[in-house]
Structure 1
Amino acid sequence: MTAGTIDHRTAEVRSAWLADLTTADPVDLRALKNALDYLCAAQLYLDDNVLLERPLNTSDVRVDPAGHWGVCPPVNAVIAALAPLRSRLAGDEVMIVHGAGHAGPSALAMSYLSGELGRRYPRFAWSREALERLVRQFPRGRHGLGTEIGPQLPHQLYMGGQLGGSLAFACGAVLDAPGRLAVPLIGDGECETGALASAWLGANAMRVDGSSRHGFVLPVVLANGLRMGDRSLLGRMSADQLRAYFGGLGWTAHLVDGTDVGVLRDTFADALAATDDLAGDRRHVVVVTMPKGLGVPDRVEGRQILGTPRVHKAPLKRPRDNASEFAALCGWLSSYQPAALIDADGAPAPSIQRALRPAQPAPAQPAPAPDVVPVADPEPAGPDDERDGTFAAAVLRSLGRRQRPWRVFSPDELISNTLDPQHPVLAGHSVEVLNEELCHLWLQGYLETGRSGLFISYEAFAVLNSSLVRQYAKYRRLAAGGRPNTTGSCNYLLTSLGWNNTYTHQDQTFLTALLDAGFPGTSIYLPADDLRLEATLDRVMEDAGGLNVVVAGKYFEPGVRLPTGTIAQELDMGYSILTDDDPDADPDVVLIGIGDVTHPQLSGAAALLRADDPYRTVRQVVIHDLAAFGVPGARRRFSPADERMIFGQRSAVIIASTTTAMPVRALLFDRAGLSGRCHVRGYLDPGRHISGRALLEHCGLDAPSLAAAAERLVRRRDPSLQDHLPTTRTGES
């Protein structure tokens, strides 16, 4: 199928959407828009008299109005215009993606009016009490639903607490999903973020992956001309400049005044009819122009309110105490005539119910799996020493076994990581663009719509996504809400810092940020060799509900593999003991390796220690999941019995890690009995370009340095040997 050609089923689905839009009564849509605006304002201001059934008193008004108003009117206009498609949300056939988390009042209002909120939370089923609860308890989320966009609200798969991700998320959501429509709502200030600005161009990456069986994205830019405190850059453009700007990025812009919902509805229908699926050439964006805060009084006490930064949050700050503001609030709220929109029992008026068509939601329309791309058969199992031991071979063997729909997203780092995008396993499954944020957001959209995926890059560059990953982990924590999570895990495969690379590719703060955050479901895997990497990828690609980071060197040392019999234990328990010493005994020295680079050096150090004293017992330990040392809520956590096996009870302990030493020390901080007998070594910034071997020596991670450090710890524990204690290395602890 060529780009721009829409398959028969996808064309039929789009025809059904257009029929829904064009047959809706604009009068009903306007009533819905007014009801949404009123409920948003009521959530910000009212403590009582929710439907204005009597004249408003100052005692009905909140002492400290809270919430965001400025984004609500344009969002309400858009979701009212798209309301005829609302029944298709249940099967994710149509998705509304809120870029701004501040639109929480709108999402709450729409969920209440449509009945979706009551279906998920029976205490919000249509009733007078439910309506009053929604309004009165809004400030600071006292009703438990929060005040911003989040997964606790129905049909919200993206949390807009961090601006810039909505368009890329929407593209990921419709990838390999013919028959799905995603409508990202984008603030004009949001267009100034790097992720959003690059997402317009980045969508072109979907054209070259060999498939056009995708869904549709119809972005909506809410152009009210203002950011929080000043004019937006888009707001300074003329209509011709806006069309030229989007046209240069490959999108045809439809500019429309959002004050008339009927006209807005027709504009959406025209744009949708003209657009291709994600892989096509014809792309359209709707730019909705509207003064910021439309609906509020124009001026109060001589101060301009409408269309100014004052409307970003609650525009009238103290109406309970200020007579002019109170009068303005009374006029503003009564202008919506709420009693005509919502009845005394909290149910929407018939016109609004017609607009929403809530009676029989359309059945779910699961997207068919993407075209099956032939993949090479995995190599026969055979003896381990006959298998290709490279990083690329391990990755391809694992991905070649995947059955459910999956994708690889990479910021132009596949070839650099020795992976050929045209390899039969990857061809048709990989998407690349030189932007880490877009790759994460595409992956996030893909995962949240029921598929699995993998982000592949360098560890040093993943730090650019630290905030995005932490935000996503927050989202997943909210979405879980104590329920089993079947969403595919967010998986990162990163080649390690730079033991075989340049100085600029050495940055490990991504792992530090994840460990410091302590999110449930976190695993940080540092496989020791190619077989462990392959087994780890098998595990995470079938995983659900987690946040998995796999860090490995892109060049494994030839012929260096650890025993294979412990791989299953490392995956299940996060560690293994390599040596065959008595597990109940207390060895003289414990050498603990975290990451592939450390294990050959520790084996060399063990040989040196045994050569110095043949009767010395040396235990070697593999730490496979760093998070098991103590990240709260991690998949696995070492028990006291595990820790006795790992550290011994009186042994001298040397920990060698490809991470920096700091996060390991932090995880071990409160371990009783380790003080004075445990030394951690990790990456130390050399401050210059040096070879991989020189970097190991600089960090004290080469075999002689590790053996010498162990020897010092052993002697330090024996007072009779103090006079012979070697000088401590700089930076040791």
Structure 2
Amino acid sequence: MSEKRDDPTLGQDYLTRLDAYWRAANYLSVGQIYLMDNPLLEQPLQLSHVKPRLLGHWGTTPGLNFIYAHLNRVICKYDLNMLYVAGPGHGGPALVANVYLEGTYSEYYPNISEDKIGLRRLFKQFSFPGGIPSHVAPETPGSIHEGGELGYALSHATGAVFDNPDLIVACVIGDGEAETGPLATSWHSNKFLNPVRDGAVLPILHLNGYKIAGPTVFARIPREELTQLMQGYGYEPYFVDEAQSVAATHLAMAKTLDRMIERIRQIQADARSQGFRQRPRWPMLVLRTPKGWTGPEEVDGVPVENSWRSHQVPLAKLAEKNDHLKQLETWMRSYKPEELFTSEGKLRPELRELAPVGKRRMGDNPHANGGVLLRDLRMPDFREYAIELPAPGSRVAEATRVQGKFLCDVMKMNLGTANFRLFAPDEFTSNRWDEVLKVTSRMSVAEIESTDTAVAPDGRVMEVLSEHQCQGWLEGYLLTGRHGFFSCYEAFIHIVDSMFNQHAKWLKTCNHIPWRRPIASLNYLLTSHVWRQDHNGFSHQDPGFIDHVVNKKPEIVRVYLPPDANTLLSVTDHCLRSRNYVNVVVAGKQPQHQWLSMDAAIKHCSAGASIWTWASNDQDGAPDIVMACAGDVPTLETLAAVSLLREWLPSLKIRVVNVVNLMTLQPESEHPHGMSDKEFDAMFTTDRPIVFAFHGYPWLIHRLTYRRKGHDNLHVRGYKEEGTTTTPFDMTVLNDLDRFHLAEAAIDLVPSLGAQAGHLRQRLRDKLIEHREYVRRHGEDMPEVRDWIWTVK
């Protein structure tokens, strides 16, 4: 493209002022790491002006500041709608400094004013008790990405631009972060961006050469190899290297960004005027700058700038070494703060005018506070998808297939608003959501062959064989004000354990930031679960994600174990309407008995746990035994055990309790959904034995209920790491969760049975032997197990 020679933003005066703006950001960044007083260095720097504990990361910060200043320039020049995602770990000083310089920070936090008092507070609060973290966090206006854990910047950025055609997300990827597996995979996100309807991601690979204690891989490969790598990923790489002079570097960066922005606009204009024809090669930037740029070149005789030693705090022994304090003062004065700020402490007007204004400021872009933009989904009435039941257990259905029909119509009703997507790692059809493919397709802008099924550039099903990408895209989508659902095999959702951690921590923090508006909940469907992974074997059998989830703050997490299709419909509707939660729904996809009418399902889900009167026979007095269950297979086995007990011991008083909302087991003081002690005691009793059949690891139920009066009476059966390739029922037998073991446990816990217990236990033992012999001979479960139905009146 032709260079605009009369462009004032490429002129010496503008770029000189841009350099001063960059110096101001660097000065504020150093001040945040070190100072708690004397913010403008109006006095000689003394140890009393410095924080007693020095925390933070300098090495990546000047590069982040350089990029931010130049992005401000193109925002103003092209009137861009732009977000800034900072992937490099603890780049917090840079983002806070820039949001402060543009005026946004003081608008969100009026006590951090644009004067000397505000500067002092800005500096002191950083990595200080009662202050703000050292990384880009929810407290930072303009942020949707917390930079503590590395690897997810590009997937977050991509999720943010889905269905945001006017948005550009500038995504800075540190060369340390570029070594992570999730980031390596996320380069392929360009195969899922449609320039007709989506915005653009501008990846900026920031090569400063080093991570915390050594060189980075990407900085130590030849440019030709790096060029080929990026081209192989499908990008058009542009390069900017630190030139011999700072002025030359500024000019090279400005010209390169102009070409890249114009290339993005050209790609979008062609696609939007002529329709999508082929996947474009989006531009990406490789920016090479020194680690710790503009900082101390040497400390104690060893190199610091352009070495790993600048990664954190370059001058860390100020109380021990007076020359370090002097070196810090020299460093800070090298930015010439008197040229940058007025005597009152305000950024000089000729510099402030370089920043965008209003919502064009990256710190005040509404997409970074997605709740502001969030609109409710248009929702069909989930009751219309109900399984009609003449009686409990009278029909069989695939719960997630029924859920898929509901989600199909949710998708259909929201196609016009383009604010709903579904995410799955190559398991969409396997998990029975394929009904959705009747109204939309799997999304891809890569080559599509005639043999492909339901694959199109305008699809709204995001399917890629990477749980990391599904999670990252969905988080970016939610954080910018949209809705979604993520389905995954239960055992492999662990792949995103740490990503869930970070999102849950983000939500918890946001709940205490008044200006952060609630966003749509992050919804998981975990299916192909442990009790129906008999065919895939031990590697696919792990229900432990829910243990991980309940570690988080109760205000954030919800865990649902719907026992049938109607309860799953009710739970799904609730999850899609909820805000600021992580909802984990565990449900099977295989044909399964259906227990509750829709009216009963709604009441059950509203309560979270309830006595199933139709399965109980203790209505005229206290029960002898409570048979509790949570999860579809444990519910089936519990009811089968109850049917045996009621047939063999008709005088035995049995109460059946089903738990659909796991959090109701906690006391109300511990979780918003928790039952009061009175409710819990009335349901489970305080003095009767309880056999609890649970979907997951047994100790989780004990952990949730240990404060309850009847906890000593609680006996939990669940998954205990016994699995193999076998039959569905044998999976329960291996873990003592089957109907025969449950009935045996109940018999052993009722002392009044006396001598009868021995005969009944023998019958149950014989059944287990019959089972073992049958499955080893025939390779399937016994007919009485396969064909069992609830017939108890």
Aligned pairs for 1:680-691 (under 5 A) are 680-691=716-727
SS of corresponding position for 1:517: coil
Residue 498 of structure 1: CA displacement?
3.3
Do the aligned partners of 1:221 and 1:286 also contact (CA within 8 Å) in 2? yes
Alignment of 1:170-189 (within 5 A): 170-189=157-176
Tell me whether 1:479 sits opposite 2:510 in the alignment: yes
1:390 aligns with one of 398, 419, 427: 398
- Contact (CA 8 Å) 1:187, 1:223: kept in 2 or not? yes
Pick one of 470, 491, 510 that aligns with 2:545: 510
Which residue pairs with 2:602 in the alignment?
A: 568
CA–CA distance in 2 between the matches of 1:369 and 1:512?
30
Q: Which moved more, 1:265-274 or 1:383-392?
A: 383-392
Residue of structure 2 in register with 1:99 after alignment: 87
CA contact (8 A) 1:205 1:433 kept: no
Given candidates 704, 707, 711, the residue that maps to 1:670 is: 707
Matches within 5 A, 1:99-118: 99-118=87-106
Note the alpha carbon deviations across 1:147-199, whole angstroms, 9 max, x for none.
22111111111112110000001100101111011111110010010100000
SS in 2 for 1:401: helix
Q: After TM superposition, give the deviation of residue 137 of structure 1 in Å.
A: 3.3
Aligned to 2:433: 419
How far off is 1:327 after superposition?
3.2
Q: CA deviation at 1:242?
A: 1.6
* Residue 458 (structure 1) shift: 0.4
Q: Does 1:429 align with 2:460?
A: yes
Give the AA of the match of 2:527.
T
Distance in 2 of aligned mates of 1:326 and 1:606? 76
Rounded Cα–Cα distance in structure 2 between residues aligned with 1:313 and 1:666: 40
2:753 and 2:20 map into 1 onto residues whose CA distance is: 84
Q: Where does 1:213-362 land on structure 2 (aligned, <5 Å)? A: 213-257=197-241, 259=246, 260-275=249-264, 276=267, 280-358=279-357
The answer as to whether partners of 2:405 and 2:433 remain within 8 angstroms in 1 is no
Counterparts of residues 77-156 of structure 1 (less than 5 Å): 77-84=66-73, 93-138=81-126, 140-142=127-129, 144-156=131-143
What CA distance in whole angstroms lies between the structure 2 residues aligned with 1:571 and 1:688?
33
1:426 Cα deviation after fit: 4.5
Deviation at 1:627, TM superposition (A): 2.3
Alpha-carbon separation, structure 1, partners of 2:170 and 2:8: 16
Q: Structure 2 CA distance, aligned partners of 1:157 and 1:88?
A: 24
Report deviation, 1:392: 4.4
Question: Which residue is 1:14 aligned to?
Answer: none
Superposition deviation, residue 237 in structure 1: 1.3
Q: Residue 601 of structure 1 aligns to which amino acid in structure 2?
A: E
Q: Which moved more, 1:457-466 or 1:20-29?
A: 20-29
Inter-partner Cα distance in structure 2 for 1:102 and 1:525: 35
Report the CA distance shift for 1:382/1:473 in structure 2 as closer, same or farther (over 3 A).
closer
Q: Which amino acid aligns with 2:640?
A: G
Structure 1 residues 85 and 525: CA distance shift in structure 2, 3 A: farther
- TM-score, with structure 1 as normaliser: 0.88
Q: Does 1:601 align with 2:637?
A: yes
Aligned to 1:399: 407
Asked if the contact 1:93/1:365 (under 8 Å) is kept, the reply is no
Q: TM-score, normalised by structure 2?
A: 0.82
State whether residues 176 and 216 of structure 2, in contact with CA within 8 Å, keep that contact through their aligned partners in structure 1.
yes
Structure 2 CA distance for aligned equivalents of residues 630 and 123 of structure 1: 40
**1:493 and 2:482 equivalent?**
no
- Deviation per CA, 1:354-405: give whole Å up to 9, x if none: 11143685897889999x99x9x99776844799932343122221332442
The answer on 1:68 being equivalent to 2:57 is: yes
The CA deviation at 1:112 is 1.6
Secondary structure of 2:481's partner?
coil
Offset at 1:607?
1.8
Counterparts of residues 29-40 of structure 1 (less than 5 Å)? 29-40=18-29
Question: Number of matched residues?
Answer: 701
1:529/1:560 contact within 8 Å kept: yes
Equivalent residue number for residue 462 of structure 1: 493
Tell me by how many angstroms 1:266 deviates: 2.4
Distance 2:492 2:50 in 1: 50
Report the CA distance between 1:86 and its aligned residue. 6.4
The share of aligned pairs that are identical, in percent, is 30
SS of 2:710 mapped into structure 1: coil
8 A Cα contact 1:45 1:65, kept in partner: yes
**Kindly tell me: are residues 710 and 497 of structure 1, through their superposed partners in 2, closer, same or farther at Cα, counting changes over 3 Å?**
same
Give the drift of 1:634. 4.0
Residue 513 (structure 1) shift: 0.8
Check whether the contact 1:409–1:432 (CA below 8 A) recurs between aligned residues: yes
Do the aligned residues in 2 keep the contact of 1:134 with 1:143 (CA within 8 Å)? no
Structure 2 counterpart SS, 1:548: strand
Report the CA distance shift for 1:329/1:178 in structure 2 as closer, same or farther (over 3 A).
same
Which string of whole-angstrom CA distances, capped at 9 and with x for unpartnered residues, describes residues 536-587 of structure 1? Answer: 1121112211110111111032x54334433122322211221156779531
Q: 1:344 to 1:571 in 2, by over 3 A?
A: farther
Shift in Å, 1:319: 3.0
Separation of aligned partners in 1, 2:32 and 2:186: 34
Q: 1:543 to 1:599 in 2, by over 3 A?
A: same
Equivalent-residue separation in structure 1 for 2:152 and 2:122 (angstroms) = 29
Aligned equivalents of 2:285 and 2:554: distance in 1?
38
- Cα distance in 1 for partners of 2:568, 2:544 equals 22
Q: Distance in 1 between matches of 2:644 and 2:46?
A: 85
Letter in 2 for 1:565: D
Deviation at 1:500, TM superposition (A): 2.7
Per-residue deviation, 1:141: 3.1
Contact 2:96 2:140 in 1 (8 A): yes
User: Greater shift after overlay, 403-412 or 213-222?
Assistant: 403-412
Compared with structure 1, are the counterparts of its residues 282 and 466 closer, same or farther at alpha carbon in structure 2 (3 Å cutoff)?
Answer: same
Which residue type is aligned with residue 453 of structure 1? G
Shift of 1:479: 1.4
Q: What SS is found at the alignment partner of 2:551?
A: helix
Say whether the 8 Å CA contact 1:92–1:364 is kept in structure 2.
no
Secondary structure of the structure 1 residue equivalent to 2:287:
strand
> Unpaired runs of 5+ in structure 2?
1-6, 442-458, 766-793
Q: Cα distance, 1:723 vs. partner? A: 9.3
CA 1:60/1:703 → structure 2, altered by over 3 Å: closer, same or farther? closer
Matched-pair contact (CA < 8 Å) for 2:142–2:365: no
- 1:651 maps to what in 2? 688
Change (3 A) 1:446 1:359: closer
Between 1:692-701 and 1:468-477, the stretch displaced more is 692-701
The C-alpha deviation readout for 1:381-438, integer Å capped at 9, x for no partner, is 6844799932343122221332442111111111222333872145222011111011
Q: Aligned partner of 1:417: which letter?
A: N
Residue deviations 1:268-327 (CA, integer Å, cap 9, x gap): 221122134598412111111111001122223321111111111110121343233233
CA distance in 2: counterparts of 1:65 and 1:684, whole angstroms? 47
Q: Distance in 2 between matches of 1:667 and 1:381?
A: 32
Mapping 1:4-43, distance limit 5 Å: 25-43=14-32
